[in-house]
Amino acid sequence: MHSIRIKITAVTIAAILTSVLALGGLGVLSIGMESDRSSTEKMRLISENMQRKLDAYLDSLKQSVNMAIRIAGDSLDDLDIEYLGNSGTPEQVEALDAAMKKHCADVEHAFGSIANSTNGIVTYYYCINSDYGSNEHGFFWSKLDGDEFQKQPPLDSRELDRGDIDHTTWYYSPLKAGSAVWVGPYKAHFLGEQWTISYVAPIYHQGFVVGVLGMDILFDTMISQISSLRAYDSGFAFLMDRDGHVIYHPDMQSRGVPVSMSQSLDEELLRRRSSGDMMIRYIRNQKQWQLAFATLTDDHKVAVTAPVSEITASQRQLMLIILLVAAVILAVFTLAILFLMNALTKPLLRLTMASQKLLAGDYDVELDYEGRDEVGILTAAFRQMRNYLQLYISDLNSRAYKDAMTGVKNKGAFTASMARLNDTIRLGGQDKPPQFSIVTFDCNDLKQINDEYGHDCGDIYLQATCTMICKVFAHSPVFRMGGDEFSVILQRSDYNNREELLKTFDACAEERNATAEHPWQCINVAKGMAVYQPYADTSVEQVLHRADELMYEDKRRCKSSRGN
């Protein structure tokens, strides 16, 4: 008696323990996956929001410079000078100087108006190329020391050292690129060696470089816009160059000088335009961090990082709650099982013989105990279970050949019907051949409906198609062959009227489609019908094969007509 109780108790507790551990493990795994997805999405959105904010700021500067470029170009279009270079006569030099002076004055006036309506810039300038042949040097305006732009001595291209890349990149980079470019951060000698970002463009006339025109912002201006950003509790934003090297980080001393992010990070990954939906984690200062980044219009990258410990804090709390709940459930059920098993195992032994007979399939076993104690209740339950089993087995036999979703017969039933027809063909031969045909249907666009509107709509589409088939071929068995395919075996009156029934089906489908509001409410099928030919067919499979070929041919015609 004790062994029975121990075995049942052990198995039950093991089942409960397995279920609790499985559900708990699945819950922990699901929470972990959802937490990773959510944190990646949140970090990505933060970085993209900051990217849009900075891009709006940078784009305003870029648009301002582009407007000045067009103005300078238009002004040069009106410049009619024969002499260019450094070997002209005094008269030619004087004429060029006068023309360039007027050109620079026009550009300076227009550029000043543009600059005053552009937020955040500290300088705007036009540096004339000394090789152009003019003594005009352009103009230079700065408001580094106040709120208003102050005119400064123009930048003289003759004083620029091509070898001093750190200070002359603003001038030579656009000349090398041949178009407007972003430059920096670099230490601008004309701004007291402050880290600067510039948008500069070369100005051409008749194939000569007239000069370089541009605007500057202080690198600290961009830093100030991201320094207040926070992700989670202690996460922050920083800036990287196009190669993924850090040029600003609140925890690093360097500013503007590229520094590698972390040895645990793949630098190729940081060269991408954005982190996208990737979860990027790395180790820095013996601490794990999570990173997301997006590329700005000037090819710098704004990145957001936060400690993984903060990101997963809520995840750990949920996991702890799940573990505690699982432990409580396991303890409660264990105590309950121990108590119930002790009370139930004794009277259950009296039903051992009856249960063994039921187990052996003897559903006529006598269960005549009518006591009102636990054994009587259990005996009544066994009796009811026996009756249910009889009904259930009978029901299983009927359901074995029934499709659960549509209610029509399934592929197993079709196979059984084919077997019976094959027997009829073999027994009847050519003297008394059976008369039948097979129609196969394939629902078009089911995958597209499932993908665009969901599988519930796909099920509605299949059920509506099946209902239409059953309605038209009301005297013939309809089979769902699986997925989006149906078959009908036509005999007797439906066989005799098969062509009319197909036309009726098409007419009903067109009538329904004309009033359908959604794709899944339409009836859109490819179909093929093949008739059994006693002198050519030796089996039902050959008829089915022909019907399938005709159906696929109809499917190709439908696709071709819609493609045209």
pLDDT tens-digit map of 536-547: 888 999 999 999
Q: Beta strands 525-531 and 437-443: pairing type?
A: antiparallel
Gap between the Cα atoms of 271 and 13, Å rounded: 54
413-417 mean pLDDT: 91
Residues 6 or more apart whose Cβ sits within 8 Å of residue 70:
none
Q: How many residues does the chain have?
A: 564
* Burial call 211-237: b when 16+ CB within 10 Å, e when fewer: bbbbbbbbbebbbebbeebebbeebbb
Choosing among 3.90.600.10, 3.40.50.720, 3.30.450.20, 3.40.50.1460, the CATH entry for 79-221 is 3.30.450.20
Q: How many CB atoms lie within 10 A of CB 108?
A: 19
| Tokens read off for 117 | 């309506």
Question: What span, in angstroms and rounded, lies between the C-alpha atoms of 138 and 130?
Answer: 10
Residues in contact with 244: Cβ distance below 8 Å, sequence separation at least 6, in sequence order: 261, 265, 267, 269, 270, 271, 301
Place of tokens 């007509």: 561
Query: Which band of pLDDT confidence, cut at 50, 70 and 90, is reported for residue 564?
Result: very low
> First CA to last CA across the chain, in angstroms?
80
Helices (H) and strands (E) in the chain, counts: 15, 16
Token pair in block for residue 44 = 């990505």
Out of 346-355, 407-416, 529-538, pick the least confident: 346-355
Across the range 371-386, mean pLDDT stands at: 69
The amino acid at residue 354 is A
Burial of 175 (0-12, 13-18, 19+ CB in 10 A): middle
DSSP assignments along 21-40, one per residue: HHHHHHHHHHHHHHHHHHHH
For 23, other C-beta atoms within 10 Å of its C-beta total: 13
Mean pLDDT, residues 167-189 taken together: 89
Does the reported pTM lie above 0.85? no
Render pLDDT for 237-269 as a digit per residue (tens, 0 to 9).
Answer: 988 888 888 888 887 766 666 677 666 777 788
Q: What is the distance, to the nearest Å, from the Cα of residue 352 to the centroid of all Cα atoms in its chain?
A: 58
pLDDT at 292: 92
pLDDT tens by residue, 62-90: 999 999 999 998 888 876 655 555 556 77
Residue 347: is its pLDDT beyond 60? no
Task: Indicate the SS3 state at residue 251.
Answer: coil
Domain limits of the chain? 79-221, 361-398, 411-563
Q: Per-residue confidence at 324, pLDDT binned at 50, 70, 90?
A: confident
With CA atoms as reference, report the closest residue to 35 among 324, 325, 314, 321.
Answer: 314
**Cα 479 to Cα 469: distance, rounded to the nearest angstrom:** 10
Fold of 411-563: Alpha-Beta Plaits (3.30.70)
Residue of 287, 282, 224 lying closest to 250 (CA atoms): 224
Q: How far is the CA of 205 from the CAs of 66, 76, 136, 177, in angstroms?
A: 17, 7, 15, 16
